[in-house]
A and B are shown apart, each in its own frame.
Chain A
C-alpha cells in the first residue's frame, strides 16, 4: 500500500469502531454463537448420567456412540443417502449452471424460480408435499425416496459455488480454444470442467453437509427402515438420553466444521489462480 492511502482507512476504522456498543455487541454475539456449542462439547465428556451435573471426565459416551447398533445403522443410512444425493445434486447443479448461461431470459427466470424454491419455501411444506406425492405415485418411503428428496434441496447449495466460479472465469482460454477450432464438447471437457473443479468440489461438500444435517424432510420421508442420524438424535432428545446426544452432536459438529473449512480453502483457490 502506498503511504498516501494509509492514513484514510485508519481514520475510518477509528470513527466507525467508536459507534457505541458496536464492538461490545459484536463480541457478545460471537461468543453467544459459540458458547452453547462449546457447552455441548464440554458436557459430552461428562461421566454423569445426568448430562448437566459434572462429576468427572470420561470418554464413555463416545464409547457408547461407537458401539450402539442403532446409531451406527442410522449413520449408515445417513451416509448412503448423503453420498448418492451429493453426486446427483452436484451433476444436476453443474448442468443447470452451464446450460442456463445460454437460456432465453424467460427460461432463466423460470429456472431460477425452480432452483431457488428449496431455499425459500419452508421445508415443512416441501416435506409433507413430497410425502403425499410419493405415496400418490407409489414410491415407497425409505432410501430411494430420501435420495430423491435430498437431491432436490441440495441442488441450490451445490449450485452456489459453481456459479460463483463460473462468473469469475476469464474469457481468454475459451476464445483461444474456439479460434483453434475446438468444438463445444472439447471446450467443456478440456477447459470448462478443469477450471470449474474447485467450485464443483466446494458445491459437492456443501451438498453433503446439507444432506447429512437434514432433519425435517428425513423425518417425514425416511419411513421406519431408513431412519437417518438427525432423526435418530431427535428421538434420543425426546426420550432424554442426553449425555450420548452430546457426544454424537460433538462428532457431527466437528464433521460439519471440517467440511466448511474445506469449502473455505477451495474458494480461496480462485484468488491464487
Chain B
C-alpha cells in the first residue's frame, strides 16, 4: 500500500483479503481432492488375500474385472454383469430424468403463473421435501408401494390385487428416483419460468398461434436454461444413487453405487470398488463439462450451483 492512498476502485461491498478463503480451500483440497486422488491410486492396487483394504502392489486387475470374469479353472470369459449394472444406472437415471421433466415442467410453469403471494408458498412446498432426509423419503415410498400398503390394499378391495408386486422391481427404483429428485427439476425450471416474460407467449396467441405451438416454440425455448439445469441436477446425482435401488429395488436391480458399496463392505474388494468409483467420477465430470460448455456455446446462462 502506498503512503498516499490513491482512491481505490470501490470493489465489491464486503470484499476482504483473499487470504480469508485460504483455510477453506486448503481444507477442501485435503478432504475432497485428496480422497478422490486416493481412489484413483487404490483402483491401481491389488486386493490383499486376507481382510479389507488394499495391498500396495501395482495392478490393473480391478479394471479388467469390470469386463472379464476369471473362472475357477483359470480360464477367462467376457463378463457382462458389470456392464449391465452400468447400463441399469444410465437407464434408471435416464427414465427418472424424463419422468421428472414431464411432471416438473407443468408444475414449474403453473407455479410461475400464480399470483406472487402464492408463488412463495408453493416454492416453499416444493423445497421442503428437498431438505428432508432421502433415507426417510425413500422409506416412505417403500411403505406406499408395499403389497400391504395403501395401493396394494386398494387393489385387493376392488379385487385385482392378488398379483400386485411393484416393490423390489426396477419400477420401484425408478418411482423412488422420480419421487426423491423431482424438486431438483421443478426448482431450476421454475427459476427460469419466473424470469420468462410471458408477454411473448401472449404475442404468440395474438398472432394466432395455438396453445401447443406457443408452448413448443416460445415458452419451452424461453425456459431452456432451467430445463438443462434440471436435467443435469436429476441425471448426474441420479446416476450415483444408492438408497433408492437398495431399499426399493431389493438388491435385484443394482445400480453402480450399490456395487461400489458392496465392494467396500461385504465383498471386500477395495481396488475393484475404487475402479468403479473412478468410472462413476469420470462420467459425472464428463456430464458436468458437457452441460457447462455445451450451454455456454449456445449463449444460455445455466447455473448448476
Instruction: Please report A residues at the B interface, Cβ cutoff 8 Å.
Output: 8, 11-13, 15-23, 25-26, 29-30, 32-37, 39-40, 43, 50-53, 92-93, 95-96, 98-103, 107, 110-112, 114-126, 128-133, 135-136, 148-149, 151-152, 155-156, 166, 169-171, 173-175, 178, 184, 188, 192, 195-196, 206, 209-210, 213, 215-216, 219-220, 230, 233-234, 237, 242, 245-246, 249, 252-253, 256-257, 259-261, 264
Contacts and interface: CB of A to CB of B under 8 A. Distances in A.
Given A171-B10, A196-B14, A253-B132, A96 B25 contact: yes
Interface of A is mostly: helix
B171 interface: no
Given A25-B103, A126-B35, A132-B42, A107 B14 contact: no
B155 interface: no
Contacts of B205: 15
A252 B35 contact: no
Interface residues of B, number: 98
Nearest to B291: A120
Contact of B240 (A16, A22, A117, A124): A124
Contacts, number: 301
Interface in B117-149: 122, 124-129, 131-137, 139-144, 146, 148-149
B85 interface: no
Given A23-B110, A121-B281, A52 B20 contact: no
Interface stretch (B26-34, B64-72, B158-166): B26-34
A206 B24 contact: no
Contact of A26 (B34, B111, B240, B242): B111
Contacts of B139: 40, 233, 237, 245, 249
Contacts of B281: 121-122, 125
Contacts of A166: 13-14
A151 to B, nearest CB: 7
